[in-house]
Amino acid sequence: MINEPKIVEIKEIIDETPTIKTFKFDWDMETLGRPNPGEFVMVWNFKNEKPMSISQINDDEMAISVKNIGEFTSHLHDLAVGDKIGIRGSYGTGFNNSFEGKNIVAIGGGVGMAPINAIASDLIEKGNDVDVIAAAVTKDELLFADSLEKSGAKVHFCTDDGSFGFKGFATDCLSDLLEDTTYDYAFVCGPEIMMKGIFDILEEASIPAQYSLERYMKCALGVCGQCCVDGEGWRICVEGPVFENEKIYKIEEFAKYRRDASGVKY
């Protein structure tokens, strides 16, 4: 059960935005398993290990997209092609592909676009009509919007400062779209405050959805209990990180608080 990290060589690094880089590496799907969109891996830099969503799943390679916000992620940003990292996993429930209809909206805020990119690409490949709301603080931080547009998604760009596309939050953009259209199903990942706003709008519109959550993680195996959420006590690493809308009601701390590395609420 406690699988060792697989040591992989970074084969490509893409500077996506001033703060986000994508790291591509080979992954033998046959022996190591093919991840589902929405699953995550534990990334080891030979000092520490942290969870990262899988942002791209190709035939024999996958990618993670990392926002530089602290010691670990800044170390990853300093790596070069040919450097090695450890990858453990993949873990988590991933997005569930059994839903009714084919008219989908996938909503990502900031680096939350990482798992949204994986699921949106998969849904397009499977013949669904996919609208993507790609939200960021400013134009330079929009992630994957161009590549998703090329792959066939209808992308609604959205920036807080109005530097590109719709001016406002992802919630405002969704409300705007829902004035003229509706969707059968939605997939959402981003800051929890954004997901709460989106959740309220989608629930009001009776659009079922799946939400990808983050909590501080250590083992990612469901053993340490670090990422348990109040309510049902679900472990984000095993029962999550993706939850359907009915389950979100039972996560009492959703958009209210979370716990730091020592378990203290903040």
Ligand X SMILES: Cc1cc2nc3c(=O)[nH]c(=O)nc-3n(C[C@H](O)[C@H](O)[C@H](O)COP(=O)(O)OP(=O)(O)OC[C@H]3O[C@@H](n4cnc5c(N)ncnc54)[C@H](O)[C@@H]3O)c2cc1C
Subset of 8-27 contacting ligand X (CB under 6 A): none
- Orientation angle between helical segments 170-178 and 192-204, nearest 10 degrees: 10
Other beta carbons within 10 Å of 231? 14
Place of tokens 């992308």: 155
Q: What is the Cα–Cα distance from 172 to 166, expressed in whole angstroms?
A: 9
Q: What is the Cα–Cα distance from 243 to 203, expressed in whole angstroms?
A: 14
Site string (175-214) toward ligand X, x via CB under 6 A: ---------------------------------------x
Stretch near ligand X under the rule CB under 6 A, chosen from 69-77, 145-153, 163-171, 242-250: 69-77
Place of tokens 């989908």: 104
Q: Which of 1, 2, 18, 70 binds ligand X (CB under 6 A)?
A: 70
Q: Which of 13, 52, 136, 202 binds ligand X (CB under 6 A)?
A: 52
Site string (82-121) toward ligand X, x via CB under 6 A: -----------------------------x--x-------
- For 253, phi then psi, to 5°, come to -90, 0
Phi-psi region of 182 (alpha: psi -120 to 50; beta: other; left: phi over 0): beta
Q: Which of 17, 22, 36, 65 binds ligand X (CB under 6 A)?
A: 65
The yes or no reply on residue 71 touching ligand X (CB under 6 A) is yes
For the bound state, the minimum distance from the C-beta of residue 32 to ligand X, rounded and expressed in Å, comes to 19
6 vs 50 by CB, closer to ligand X: 50
Q: Which of 104, 174, 188, 217 binds ligand X (CB under 6 A)?
A: 217
Contact between residue 199 and residue 249 where contact means Cβ atoms under 8 Å apart = no
Reduced to 3 states (helix: H, G, I; strand: E, B; else coil), residue 185 is: strand
For the bound state, the minimum distance from the C-beta of residue 51 to ligand X, rounded and expressed in Å, comes to 4
Beta strands 103-109; 129-136: pairing state: parallel
Contact between residue 132 and residue 148 where contact means Cβ atoms under 8 Å apart = yes
74 vs 182 by CB, closer to ligand X: 74
For the bound state, the minimum distance from the C-beta of residue 241 to ligand X, rounded and expressed in Å, comes to 4
Q: Which of 241, 248, 251, 254 binds ligand X (CB under 6 A)?
A: 241
Reduced to 3 states (helix: H, G, I; strand: E, B; else coil), residue 205 is: coil
Binding site for ligand X (CB under 6 A): 40, 50-53, 64-67, 69-73, 111, 114, 214-217, 241
